Amino acid sequence: EAQVTQNPRYLITVTGKKLTVTCSQNMNHEYMSWYRQDPGLGLRQIYYSMNVEVTDKGDVPEGYKVSRKEKRNFPLILESPSPNQTSLYFCASSPRVGVYGYTFGSGTRLTVV
């Protein structure tokens, strides 16, 4: 089944403890991106990647890192999580920007205490 898989689905962590949220797609998509969704603020893009080894900042990149060493994987790294990073996170992928739709993962609900 073609899909975007995020792990974990739920995570509670403490301030300052490094964590990684994984994202993997099995559709050979070139484009991948990360979003956070917060009440009243909607979906905001954190980082995106046009292809392997090509990443760029979205609208809210502060406090996050990403890497794209393989086409299928696009992990989101929080080096030192803070409570304001408590949010619902989504990973998405697309064959090509502006040509096809985006497939979203099921989401990761992160709580930083």
Q: Name the site residues for another protein (rule: CB under 8 A).
A: 31, 33, 35, 40-45, 48, 50, 56, 58-59, 88, 90, 92, 97-107, 109
CB of 16 to another protein, least distance (A): 26
Least Å from the CB of residue 39 to another protein: 10
Q: Return the sign of the alpha-carbon dihedral for residues 78, 84, 90, 91.
A: negative
Residues 48, 31 contacting (CB under 8 angstroms): yes
Q: Is 22 exposed, middle or buried (0-12, 13-18, 19+ CB in 10 A)?
A: middle
Looking at the Cβ atoms of 46 and 112, the one nearer to another protein is 46
Whichever of 8 and 16 has its CB closer to another protein, that residue is: 8
Q: Minimum distance from CB of 105 to another protein (Å)? A: 6
Residues 65, 77: contact at Cβ < 8 Å? yes
